[in-house]
Amino acid sequence: VCGQCTKPCAYTLTSCNACGSSLETTEVSYNDNCFMGFIYGIAKGRFPYTISMRAQTPDFLCFDDPLACSACHLNSIPTSVYVPDCRFLFADPPRGLKLINDMFDTAAKVALEQFWGNEEYHRTVLGGAPKPKDTEELKEYVILGMNFPPSMFQIHLQFIHFPLLPFHDSQLQKGEHFTYRRFFPLGYLQKALALGDAVKMESVTMETDLETILEKVKAAGVDYDVFHAAQIKKAHGLQNRLAGTAWKEDCFAYRVHGDQVTEKGRDGNFEVKPDMCSKEVQKGDAKALQNYGRPYKDDKPTGTYYKYAKEPKDVIGFCDVSR
């Protein structure tokens, strides 16, 4: 858990992917699995389990990521089946493929209807670009994938519609986002799972080595390295194309160089603000630009609960069904 912003981070990361702080000396600890808390309708753990809800059905939840990388950063999770992480999909590739396709469809519908369909958002953030005809066209604007190890052990699709917020643009340039061998593009998982029995694992447990799965998939003709490199290239291309439309310089009061904050004076020159730190600016930007918790109440995010909350017995383990 990051000591600066308290975000749960994978133990393989060397810096926090929310605030950028070093994790080099941070001890491994454990956090609440709040995604399962959402599914079970639990009101509160270490913090309130309210959801910035976008869509809910008896089988899926889609919500704003509370630590958003972009103004449209969604998480899509299944609610009728427990899948700790993407390794378990390979216990039953056909079912795994259908599941992740349904997760994508849930999030994509939200993006098209609630973001592209919002006139002000469409004009301001997307520059009035022609609306995608369907969810396949929408993929041209989105980075999609799953992390391993995850921050929460219930499988979730990261649906990150570009452009990234300014701080996360900086993180991308430094190679701190979509980390190699941690971020698994949706396209890679789809191609891999479509191979069916050729990539099926006889047994998947919490101890299963992901490298074993990657090697098996590569031997069957789908190479993770190729997909990851293409995803990184796509992310940089999207950011270069879209950020200038969304984030105009005159919309911001400060510039940040490393940890130094500067403000534009009346003479047009930038002056150092020694009483301000970069993380303070980042926090303010996130609050102003993210869609998590809208509408705010008393200047704080609001949320709700899953109306189809499950009993534990109603959530089946993915591998239990596969046997």
What single DSSP character describes residue 111? I
Please check whether residue 188 is in contact with residue 262, taking contact to mean a CB–CB distance below 8 angstroms.
no
Q: How far apart are CA 168 and CA 156, in angstroms?
A: 20
Q: How far apart are CA 159 and CA 139, in angstroms?
A: 10
pLDDT for the residue numbered 99: 99
- Cβ contacts of 147 within 8 Å, gap of 6 or more: 10, 158, 182, 183, 184
- Each residue's pLDDT tens digit, 169-199: 999 999 999 999 999 999 999 999 999 999 9
Picking from 70, 63, 100, the residue whose alpha carbon sits closest to that of residue 83 is 100
- Cβ contacts of 272 within 8 Å, gap of 6 or more: 260, 261, 262
**228 token code pair:** 């990851």
pTM as predicted: 0.88
Please check whether residue 60 is in contact with residue 77, taking contact to mean a CB–CB distance below 8 angstroms.
yes
pLDDT for the residue numbered 322: 47
Picking from 91, 47, 37, the residue whose alpha carbon sits closest to that of residue 309 is 37
CA angle, 119 as apex, 118 and 123 as ends, to 5°? 115
* Radius of gyration of the chain from its Cα atoms, rounded to whole angstroms: 20
Scanning 146-223, the segments in alpha helix (DSSP H) are 166-173, 186-193, 210-219
Domain ranges for the chain: 34-202+215-322
Cis upstream peptide for 163 (omega within 30°): yes
pLDDT for the residue numbered 23: 74
Please check whether residue 236 is in contact with residue 242, taking contact to mean a CB–CB distance below 8 angstroms.
no
pLDDT for the residue numbered 323: 42
pLDDT for the residue numbered 22: 79
Residue-level pLDDT, tens digit, the chain, 323 residues: 677 766 666 555 667 766 677 777 777 777 889 999 999 999 999 999 999 999 999 999 999 999 999 999 999 999 999 999 999 999 999 999 999 999 999 999 999 999 999 999 999 999 999 999 999 999 999 999 999 999 999 999 999 999 999 999 999 999 999 999 999 999 999 999 999 999 999 999 999 999 999 999 999 999 999 999 999 999 999 999 999 989 988 888 888 988 889 988 888 788 999 889 888 888 888 888 889 999 999 999 999 999 999 999 999 999 986 44
By CB neighbour count within 10 A (0-12 exposed, 13-18 middle, 19+ buried), where does 61 fall? Answer: buried
pLDDT for the residue numbered 38: 98
Q: How far apart are CA 240 and CA 82, in angstroms?
A: 38
**Fold assignment, 34-202+215-322:** HIT family, subunit A (3.30.428)
